[in-house]
Amino acid sequence: MGAKTRYHRDPREVALNLLYRVEHKGAYANLAVDRELDRYEDNGSQHALVTELVNGTVRMRKHLDWVLNLFLSKPIQKQNPWLREILRMSVYQLLFMDNVPEYAVVNEAVGLAGRKLDRGLSAVVNGVLRNVIRNRGEIPYPDMYQNPVEYLSVYYSHPEWMVARWVERYGLKGACQLLEHNNVRPRVALRTNLLKVDREELFRSLTDEGCRCTLSCLTPWGVWVEETGKPLRKLHSYREGWFYVQDDASMLVSAACAPEAGQVVYDLAAGVGGKTSHLAELMGNQGIIRAVEILPKKVEILKENIRRLGITIVDIWTGDALGPLAPGWGEGDVVLLDAPCSGLGVLRRRSDARWRKSEKDITVLSELQKRLLKRGAQLVRPGGVLVYSTCTLEPEENEEVIDWFLGEETGFVLDDLSQPLRFFPFSPEDAKAASRGMLVLFPPRYGTDGMFIARLRRTR
C-alpha cells in the first residue's frame, strides 16, 4: 500500500459514509472501518472516534430507531437513507457517549445534513435532535412488565427472537447480563507463544513498548491489554511472533484437547489457525497437525500466522472436511472440530452480527455440525480423543449435537474436561459440568466470549 493520507477529513463524515455503506450497501462494519482507516495516517483519537461512531450506531440501531420514531412524523425506516444515518449517529452520541457536548452533536449533524441533504431535511435534523435532548430523561420504552422481551430487545438493541430464547433459558436476570455483555467493547486478550517466550517476558516487552496490560487470571497464557501506544501489529513482540490475539475462552478449546508432543492431531475446521497454532504450541512444535479449511483465503492467513509464530508441524488441506482428505491421512490421536456455528456467543465482537443472523441459521448449522462431527469421529484412533467446540450458546448446536452423536455412535463416551482445564477458575456448577465432559462458558460469568466444549473418547 502507498503513502497514507494525513487525516484531514471530518471523522463524523467518514463515519457517516461508512454507516451508509454498512446499512445500505451490505458492507461488514468491522471490515469497512478497518479498510477505510487503513488509508489514513494513524491518529489514535480520530480513529477511535470513527470506530466508536460506526460500531456503536450499528449495534444500538434498534434502540436508536425506537427513540427517533417518538419524534419523527414518518417512521425512521421510511426516511431518506442519509437522514436516517445522520439521525442515528447523532442520537447515539447523545444517549451513549458522555464526552461529546450536546451543542456539538447538533451543530455537526446540521452541518452534515447541509452537505448531504436539502435545507428542509437539515431543519428536520435540527428539530428532532433538540427534541431528543429536551426529552432524554423521560423516553417511554416498551413496558418492562407487560412485555419484557420487547422491552429488552429495544433497550439492549437485539433481535426479539434472540432475546426470547435467552429469557426462556437464563431468566430475566441472566438474559439482561448477557445482553449487556454483548454491548460492551471486548477486552483484548493475547495468547503467549510459549515456543518463543514466557508470559512474563511478553508482559515486559509489551510494557516497554507503552502498552498497559495485566496477566490474565483465567489461563496460563493470557495477557490482557487495556491500552496500546500503537496498533498491535506494529509491536516488536507481534513481529517476533511472541503472541496471538485470542480470547481466553478460545484458549480453553486447544487446552481441552490436551495434545502431546509427537502425536498426530487433526484440526478439521482450522480457519485462520487460532486453535491450530495453540495446539502446536502445546505440543512443543513436535508431532503432526493436519489442518483442514474449506476457504482458500483463510488458509493464506493461516499460513502467515503459523510462519510468524515459528510453527513448522502443520500440514494443510484446503477443501471440504466432508470430502476426501490428503492421501495417507489416516487416524489421529486427537481430532478437534471447532465447528462453523451461529456465533451467538461472540456478538460483542462484531457490531452488525446480531442483525445478520436468523433463527433458521441455527437449524441449518446444526445439521452441518452433525455431519462434520461424524466425519471427525472416523478419524479418531481407538482410545483417541474427539473435541467438539462452538462459539455459540444455543443448545441445538451444542448439547443436542453431542446427544445425537452419542445416540448414533456407540464407540464414544464423554471424557472429563476438568483435568485438562484444571487451571481455570470454574464456578462450582461449571466445574461439575466440565468433569462430565461438556461445558458452556456463559460470557458474563468470566467476561469471556461464549463457548461450548465437549470432550469425547473413543473406547473401541
Ligand X SMILES: C[S@@+](CC[C@H](N)C(=O)[O-])C[C@H]1O[C@@H](n2cnc3c(N)ncnc32)[C@H](O)[C@@H]1O
Catalytic center residues: 391
- Tell whether residue 129 is a contact of ligand X (CB under 6 A): no
| Nearest Cα residue to 265 out of 245, 249, 287 | 287
- Tell whether residue 10 is a contact of ligand X (CB under 6 A): no
Q: Binding segment for ligand X among 50-58, 151-159, 263-271, 451-459 (CB under 6 A)?
A: 263-271
- Tell whether residue 48 is a contact of ligand X (CB under 6 A): no
Strands ordered across the beta sheet of 222-227: 212-215, 222-227, 188-192, 243-245
Q: Binding segment for ligand X among 43-51, 255-263, 314-322, 424-432 (CB under 6 A)?
A: 314-322
316 contacts 270 by C-beta, under 8 angstroms: yes
Residues of span 15-44 touching ligand X by CB under 6 A: none
- Tell whether residue 340 is a contact of ligand X (CB under 6 A): yes
- Tell whether residue 144 is a contact of ligand X (CB under 6 A): no
190 contacts 243 by C-beta, under 8 angstroms: yes
Q: Give the residue with the Cβ less far from ligand X, 203 or 244.
A: 244
- Tell whether residue 275 is a contact of ligand X (CB under 6 A): yes
- Tell whether residue 271 is a contact of ligand X (CB under 6 A): yes
Q: Give the residue with the Cβ less far from ligand X, 68 or 344.
A: 344
Is 430 flagged in the annotation as binding? Answer: no
Is 143 flagged in the annotation as binding? Answer: no
257 contacts 265 by C-beta, under 8 angstroms: yes
Burial of 322 (0-12, 13-18, 19+ CB in 10 A): middle
Q: Give the residue with the Cβ less far from ligand X, 270 or 439.
A: 270
Is 293 flagged in the annotation as binding? Answer: yes
- Tell whether residue 322 is a contact of ligand X (CB under 6 A): yes
- Tell whether residue 104 is a contact of ligand X (CB under 6 A): no
Instruction: Tell me the closest approach of the beta carbon of residue 305 to ligand X, in angstroms.
Output: 9
Q: Give the residue with the Cβ less far from ligand X, 338 or 415.
A: 338
Q: Give the residue with the Cβ less far from ligand X, 211 or 316.
A: 316
Q: Binding segment for ligand X among 21-29, 171-179, 306-314, 318-326 (CB under 6 A)?
A: 318-326
- Tell whether residue 449 is a contact of ligand X (CB under 6 A): no
CA 10 to each of CA 13, 17, 54, 92, 226: distance values in angstroms, whole numbers, following the listed order: 5, 11, 14, 17, 27
Q: Give the residue with the Cβ less far from ligand X, 281 or 293.
A: 293
The DSSP bridge partners found for residue 225 are 188, 213
Q: Which strand (E) or helix (H) includes residue 52? A: helix 44-59
Residue count at the site for ligand X (CB under 6 A)?
17
Q: For residues 141 and 103, what is the distance between their CA atoms, to the nearest angstrom?
A: 25
Burial of 100 (0-12, 13-18, 19+ CB in 10 A): middle
Q: Which strand (E) or helix (H) includes residue 47? A: helix 44-59
3-state secondary structure 59-108: HCHHHHHHHHHHHCCCCHHHCCHHHHHHHHHHHHHHHHCCCCCHHHHHHH
- Tell whether residue 274 is a contact of ligand X (CB under 6 A): yes
Q: For residues 162 and 152, what is the distance between their CA atoms, to the nearest angstrom?
A: 10
**Alpha-carbon dihedral angle through residues 29, 32, 34, 36, given to the nearest 10 degrees:** -140
C-alpha cell at 338: 471447532
Instruction: Tell me the closest approach of the beta carbon of residue 162 to ligand X, in angstroms.
Output: 19
Instruction: Tell me the closest approach of the beta carbon of residue 387 to ligand X, in angstroms.
Output: 11
162 contacts 149 by C-beta, under 8 angstroms: no
Q: For residues 205 and 238, what is the distance between their CA atoms, to the nearest angstrom?
A: 10
In 92-219, which ranges are E strands?
188-192, 212-215
Residues of span 285-304 touching ligand X by CB under 6 A: 292-295, 298
- Tell whether residue 270 is a contact of ligand X (CB under 6 A): yes
Q: For residues 440 and 450, what is the distance between their CA atoms, to the nearest angstrom?
A: 7
Residues of span 376-415 touching ligand X by CB under 6 A: none
Q: Binding segment for ligand X among 133-141, 191-199, 266-274, 395-403 (CB under 6 A)?
A: 266-274
Residue from 108, 281, 338, 449 touching ligand X (CB under 6 A): that is 338
Q: Binding segment for ligand X among 132-140, 161-169, 187-195, 317-325 (CB under 6 A)?
A: 317-325
Annotated binding site: 293, 320, 338
Binding residues (CB under 6 A) for ligand X: these are: 269-275, 292-295, 298, 320-322, 338, 340
Annotated binding site for S-adenosyl-L-methionine: 293, 320, 338
